Structure 1
Amino acid sequence: MVFCLKDGGRRPAVRATAGALVLAASISGCSSSTDGEPEPPCFPPAYSLTPTTAAPGQSVTVAAPDAGCNPRYGKNARIQVSVTDATGVEVVNTTSAMNDAGGFTYTFVAPARTAAGDAAVTAVPYNIDWCDDTGRNNRVAGAADVRLERVSCVVPMKPLTVTR
């Protein structure tokens, strides 16, 4: 994933430059390590949704096990969970605790205003370039002070069927 600072008219150039760097790193098999030994790329673990069908007012749990690699998310890591209902309205958008290895469990109650039909649940590491394939810790330093824009990368999504 590539994040860009919003800086007026320079965004396309920043995107192109950042995209080229990511492409070059992925082609070269670049990786990093703190002890000189390269580590393989480490992506967030797949998350699950239980149950996959719910009515408004019912609890739904989003969870992921620890990664089988070392993502190094840090002791204050967060997961961002969002739910977009069948009409495209975002009815949940929050963060919750995530451990250094990417494991988390978050339970929410389907809001009463959630439209019936197929909703989309996403859970991605918060303020981290989680789509990077270099194996580096990509926590964005000082992200509260800058605006970031996701410009590429498919966001993992789990379907939630909302019933009435």
Structure 2
Amino acid sequence: MGNFRVLRKPSQLAFLGFWAVLVPAVMTGCSSTPDLPPPCMPPSFSTSVSEARAGDTVIISAPAATCNPSYGADAKVEISISTASGEKLLDTKAAMEDNGAFEYSYRIPKSAKPGVLAVSAAPADVDWCDDTGTNNRLKNQSDIDRTSCMLPVKQIAIVD
């Protein structure tokens, strides 16, 4: 009868039964976690200028996200500005809309010396990155799954 083998042992049938159940379960992606919206990255922020003088005002802002980040009615953005030597000129939280949009004005200190400032802005107190595959923003939890995304940074050159 060709190369066909007839399975007669119970252990062979049990082995096939195990795989008959496991393979479809894996292929359908069965999971015990509820369906949550997919990750939604915050909109990219920008600075009004890439070059400024001491005493100038810079606007740091972001448009609304094209997805639904659901940051909440009391959402905040954490904004930080540091010098090349690591001195913090600003470390604050400002109002942000549920969709990630914000606008913040910052006056560069008159004492600022020429050099490069590093500006970062990201949603505060939430896992804004969501690269863990878990949508932490919608869980209302205090322990957030940590992520591996890098904090976005823009540069502003301070000139004479």
The two structures have a TM-score, normalised by structure 1, of: 0.67
Structure 1 residue aligned with 2:8: none
Q: Which has the larger radius of gyration?
A: 2
1:160 aligns with 2:160: no
Does the aligned pair in 2 maintain the 1:85–1:116 contact within 8 Å?
Answer: no
Q: Which of 48, 54, 64 pairs up with 1:50?
A: 48
Does the aligned pair in 2 maintain the 1:81–1:123 contact within 8 Å?
Answer: yes
Overall identity of the aligned pairs, in %: 35
Amino acid at match of 1:99: E
Structure 2 residue aligned with 1:79: 77
Q: Which runs of 5+ in 1 are unaligned?
A: 1-27
Q: Which runs of 5+ in 2 are unaligned?
A: 1-28
Structure 2 residue aligned with 1:88: 86
Alpha-carbon shift at residue 115 of structure 1 (Å): 3.1
CA distance in 1, matches of 2:60, 2:116: 16
The two structures have a TM-score, normalised by structure 2, of: 0.69
Alpha-carbon shift at residue 95 of structure 1 (Å): 1.1
Structure 1 stretches of 4+ with a deviation exceeding 6 A read none
Q: Which of 102, 120, 126 pairs up with 2:118?
A: 120
CA distance in 2, matches of 1:67, 1:151: 20
1:65 aligns with 2:57: no
Q: Which of 38, 41, 49 pairs up with 2:39?
A: 41
Q: Which has the higher contact order (CA 8 A, sep 6+)?
A: 1
Alpha-carbon shift at residue 112 of structure 1 (Å): 2.7
Q: CA separation of 1:115/1:141 partners in 2, compared to 1, >3 Å: closer, same or farther?
A: farther
Q: Note the alpha carbon deviations across 1:9-36, whole angstroms, 9 max, x for none.
A: xxxxxxxxxxxxxxxxxxx8x9x87xx5
Amino acid at match of 1:137: R
Alpha-carbon shift at residue 152 of structure 1 (Å): 3.7
Structure 2 residue aligned with 1:9: none
Does the aligned pair in 1 maintain the 2:117–2:157 contact within 8 Å?
Answer: yes
Does the aligned pair in 2 maintain the 1:86–1:115 contact within 8 Å?
Answer: no
Alpha-carbon shift at residue 54 of structure 1 (Å): 1.0
CA distance in 1, matches of 2:65, 2:148: 23
Aligned residues: 127
Alpha-carbon shift at residue 124 of structure 1 (Å): 0.7
